[in-house]
Amino acid sequence: MTCRTCAVARLSRILAGAALMLFGAAASLGAQSQATTGIIRGVVSDPNGAPVANATVILHETQTNFTRTLMTDAAGNFTGTLLPLGTYEVTARSVGFAEVKQTGIVLGVGETVDLRLALAAVTLPAVTVEARQPVVDVTKPEASTPLAADVVSGLPNNGRN
Domain boundaries, the chain: 1-34, 37-121
Would the pLDDT of 106 be above 90? yes
Determine the distance from the C-alpha atom of residue 45 to the mean position of all C-alpha atoms in its chain, rounded to a whole number.
18
Would the pLDDT of 159 be above 80? no
Would the pLDDT of 112 be above 80? yes
Q: What is the CATH number of domain 37-121?
A: 2.60.40.1120
The β-bridge relationship of strands 120-121 and 97-98 is antiparallel
Q: Which amino acid is at 4?
A: R
For residue range 123-133, list pLDDT tens digits in order: 878 889 898 88
* CB neighbour list of residue 33: distance below 8 Å, 6 or more residues apart: none
Query: What was the pLDDT predicted at 131?
Result: 87
More confident residue, 24 or 157: 157
- Using alpha carbons, select from 69, 81, 103, 87 the residue that is nearest to residue 37: 81
The β-bridge relationship of strands 120-121 and 100-107 is unpaired
Query: What was the pLDDT predicted at 2?
Result: 67
Three-state SS at 5: helix
In angstroms, the CA 106 to CA 40 distance is 10
Confidence grade of residue 151 (pLDDT, cut at 50, 70, 90): confident
For residue range 8-33, list pLDDT tens digits in order: 777 778 877 766 676 766 665 555 45
For residue range 50-99, list pLDDT tens digits in order: 999 999 999 999 999 999 999 999 999 999 999 999 999 999 999 999 99
Angle, alpha carbons 60-61-63 (nearest 5°)? 135
